[in-house]
Amino acid sequence: MNHRLNLALLLVTFLTTLTTKSQDLSQDEMLSLDRIYNSNEFVQEYERPMQWIENGDAYIIVEKSQTISNADELIRYDTKTQKRSVFVAGESLTIDGTPLSISSFTLSSDGSKVLFFNNTSRVWRSYSKGDYWVFDFTTNQLKQLGASFEASSLMFAKFSKDNKYVAYVHDFNIYKEDFATGSMTQLTTDGDGAIINGTFDWAYEEEFGKRDGFSWSPNANYIAYWQIDASDIETFFMINNTDSIYSKPIPLQYPKVGRTPSGAKLGIINMNSNQTIWIPVPGDQKNNYLPGMQWVNDDLLLIQQLNRHQNKLSIWSYQPSSKTLKNIYTEEEETWVDLGYPDISADGWGNNDLPLVDNNTAFLRMTENGTWRHIYKINIASGEQLLLTPFDFDVASIRPATNNVVYFMASPNNSTQRYLYKTDLSGKGEVRQITPQIFDGVNNYSFSPNGLYAIHIHQNVLKPRSSQLVELPAHSTIKTLASNKDFDKRLRTLDLPEVRFTTVTTEEGIAIDVRMIMPTDFDPNEKYPVLFHVYGEPWGQVATDTHIGLWNIMMAQKGYVIIDMDNRGTPCLKGSAWRKSIYRQIGVINVKDQADAAKEILKLEYLDNDRTAVWGWSGGGSMTLNLMFKHPEIYKTGIAIAAVSNQLIYDNIYQERYMGLPQENRDDFIAGSPVTHAKNLEGNLLLIHGTADDNVHYQSAELLINELIKQHKLFQFMPYPNRTHSIREGQNTTRHLYYLMTDYLLKNTPVNNN
């Protein structure tokens, strides 16, 4: 009761503390939370999803029909000339007079059919369930697939090459449907949730980016698929207390760290017999992961296998015709082997496919075995390896390899930025930067299949995201897709802060990148409160040349110095030793680096050491807690959102990758867990957590709360009912969250030192 009253008082008194800026500036120059979250004043535009066709010489996007109200239609553009034509008209995409709402679409291999996905529903992070419709150019008709199944229940539908069949997943089983007759054949029968065919459990999706779990062979003679055995995975229950007068448990298959993973095996369905042959990948299925599988040709698969410790990657080839399995590549590290290579210029969760080159006779693989992260070309038949990037800097991520060149992202001289480079596939070591210098900051690219065109996305600290279609390698702009000129123009009417990049060297000699957002009325003779924003784990880098965002601009206008710093273990382009040094030391080495760097930066005379705050989300929430508990002399106020308070309760794939198995080094897990050090809390702490967080469970907050109560430590807590890890579901949620955070900072780390 008192807790709810305290939160109410925080919000009631918010308006009395929110205005701290001098009245010399006009209202239009100042940001407020309502302007940010409760108006349409600052709305960014994004490029429409694009489907490349004709190997990239053309593409299709969804646009609104010019003849039918509220109807979507497909428009074809010639990539180079931008000649526009209607591909599928809006009047062809109606169901009983109602326009078909399009979430996404794909084309059949011969372009004779378009597969539409709509009425989607969420599975963990992505909206991967829904309804599928096919527009057939030969009949000019729209037809629903799997019409006899319940609505919004199909996943990953795709045509065979001859367009005779379409395959999809329904209720953990794979089906094929004869497109002409509508007759269905169930290809797997044992899927029931504990056994999962053609898709994945929570852990594989979250940590390996796996969602779509089956694929046709190029000539459609086979379907290769994953089967996940989650029968031994224990159920974690989340509780829905708000949608009924009786609470409802929400079951979640979730393998906690130290618990046996789901088993995984790979099957091939012969389309003539509809029977499955299991690929005999060696090793215990529940102590090895299978994060990658792809067709090279109709009689050759590549399979990626990781051991339980994730420090050994084996790549196998398999021939269905001869049932021959061959190990063609092995990579081992003392720490862990990366698959996804988290990076600010990567596309996040991917399918883990290995880029194929040299007419599909070789593949590319990035490795960390040396000083730097490099790209190697591996011959599939012989296993012979060729170094393609023999230079002294890191590759951040790979882009497509075409026309005897491979594109990649890097930034040899500044880890806070990213640029596109290319080199040849012969290993001669010739390298060229493709991104023009005018695009300083962070760049990203999505390539056409032929590698001649790309969507280029650019931003920097004070330049919002923009995207353009470019021709490569000249990097000439064909068309601006999303300029955000209006958004940028509105930003320029604001009182904007200066953003400074620097480095600080800790007492151990570690050079830490620092991004400082200065107060807009900065006076070096004044003292300012400091707001540290942190993450600090292998999946995030924060001191980057990316747009600082409206909330940071507002806080700078109020008079805060906002500081982002990247410790060892973050995915900075500073060499393999930098990134891998965090192994078995999450919560220890990264926390020490942050605290030591803070000590150095706080020597600046205009920073007030008595008004210091720190905040972070997820891994950043864990970092916030550890900093508050281990270094109360530095950090006076903290806001921890969706934090892992105890490393022994997080999922096994992530935590074991970076920490090992708790059966072998449990003390490392305990030493790095915030709950271990909660007794040292001295400052002001606000905990925030969503009760339906399927990633970092609400359990994490309650375990910490119990420990803080036990240690007689006072704190504030805000649970968000039925919100997930992102805490964005429900009306007004984001606005409420940032109101709460802002008010807490203004009260406990005030701008005016009075």
Instruction: Please write the tens of the pLDDT for every residue from 96-124.
Output: 889 999 999 999 988 899 999 999 999 98
- Tell me the pLDDT band of 125, cut-offs 50, 70 and 90: confident
Whether residue 247 contacts residue 691, with contact meaning beta carbons closer than 8 Å, is answered with no
What's the whole-number mean pLDDT along residues 617-624?
A: 98
Residue 1 has pLDDT above 70, yes or no: no
Element (H, E) at 326: strand 324-332
Q: How many CB atoms lie within 10 A of CB 665?
A: 13
Alpha-carbon distance values, 243 to 138, 248, 251, 662, 718 (Å): 47, 8, 16, 38, 19
Strand order across the beta sheet in which 58-64 lies: 50-53, 58-64, 72-78, 84-88
Say which residue, 428 or 387, is predicted with more confidence.
387
Is 23 a residue whose pLDDT tops 60? no
Give the pLDDT of residue 348. 59
CA 343 to chain centre: 10
Rounded average pLDDT over 558-562: 98
* pLDDT above 90: percentage of residues in the chain: 88
For the ranges 11-15, 376-380, 429-433, the lowest mean pLDDT is seen at 11-15
Other CB atoms within a 10 A radius of the CB of residue 148 amount to 7
Characterize the bridge pairing of strands 385-387 and 104-107: unpaired
Residue 470 and residue 457 in contact, taking contact as beta carbons nearer than 8 Å: no
Residue 28 has pLDDT above 50, yes or no: yes
pLDDT score recorded for residue 510: 97
Of 510, 506, 655, whose CA–CA distance to 584 is shortest? 655
Q: In this predicted model, which residue has the larger pLDDT, 349 or 384?
A: 384
Q: What is the pLDDT of residue 8?
A: 34
Model confidence pLDDT, tens digit, residues 702-711: 999 999 999 9
Question: What is the reported pLDDT for 423?
Answer: 96
- Mean pLDDT computed over every residue of the chain: 93
Q: How confident is the model at residue 593, as a pLDDT?
A: 98
**Each residue of 363-389: pLDDT tens digit?**
999 999 889 999 999 999 999 999 999
**DSSP string for residues in 122-189:** EETTEEEEEEEEEEETTTTEEEESSTTSPTT-EEEEEE-TTSSEEEEEETTEEEEEETTT--EEES--
CA distances from 429 to 235, 294, 573 (A): 51, 29, 19
DSSP E strand boundaries for 181-247: 184-186, 195-197, 214-216, 222-229, 235-240
pLDDT top residue among 23 and 603: 603
Section 80-96 average pLDDT? 93
**Beta pairing, strands 356-357 & 362-367:** antiparallel
**Average of per-residue pLDDT across 119-140:** 93
Determine the pLDDT at residue 350. 66
* Predicted local confidence at residue 491, as pLDDT: 95
Average pLDDT over residues 478-504: 96
- The neighbouring-strand residues paired with 376 are 365, 387
Neighbour count for residue 471 (Cβ, 10 Å): 15
Question: Rounded to two decimals, what is the model's pTM?
Answer: 0.94
What's the length of the chain? 754
pLDDT, average across residues 228-250: 96
pLDDT of residue 10: 35
Beta strands in 438-588 (DSSP E): 442-447, 453-460, 463-471, 476-482, 499-505, 511-517, 528-533, 561-566
CB atoms within 10 A of CB 99: 18
Distance CA(323)–CA(329), nearest Å, equals 19
CA distance 502 to 7: 38
> How is residue 530 written in tokens?
């400091």
Burial class (CB in 10 A: 0-12, 13-18, 19+), 120: middle
Do residues 580 and 712 lie in contact, with contact meaning Cβ atoms separated by under 8 Å?
Answer: no
Q: What is the mean pLDDT of residues 331-336?
A: 97
* Sign of the Cα pseudo-torsion (662, 665, 666, 669, in order): negative
pLDDT, average across residues 497-509: 97
**720 strand-pairing partners:** 690
Q: How confident is the model at residue 753 (pLDDT cuts 50, 70, 90)?
A: low
Is the predicted pLDDT of residue 15 greater than 50, yes or no?
A: no
CA–CA gap between residue 226 and residue 265 (Å, rounded):
6
Q: What's the alpha-carbon Rg for the chain, to the nearest Å?
A: 27
Amino acid (one-letter) located at 376 = Y
Which H helix or E strand runs over 666?
helix 662-672
**For residues 580 and 335, what is the distance between their CA atoms, to the nearest angstrom?**
7
Report whether pLDDT(7) > 70: no
Contact 373, 397 (CB under 8 A): no
- The answer to whether the peptide bond before residue 473 is cis (omega within 30 degrees of 0) is yes
pLDDT at 24: 55
pLDDT of res. 649: 98
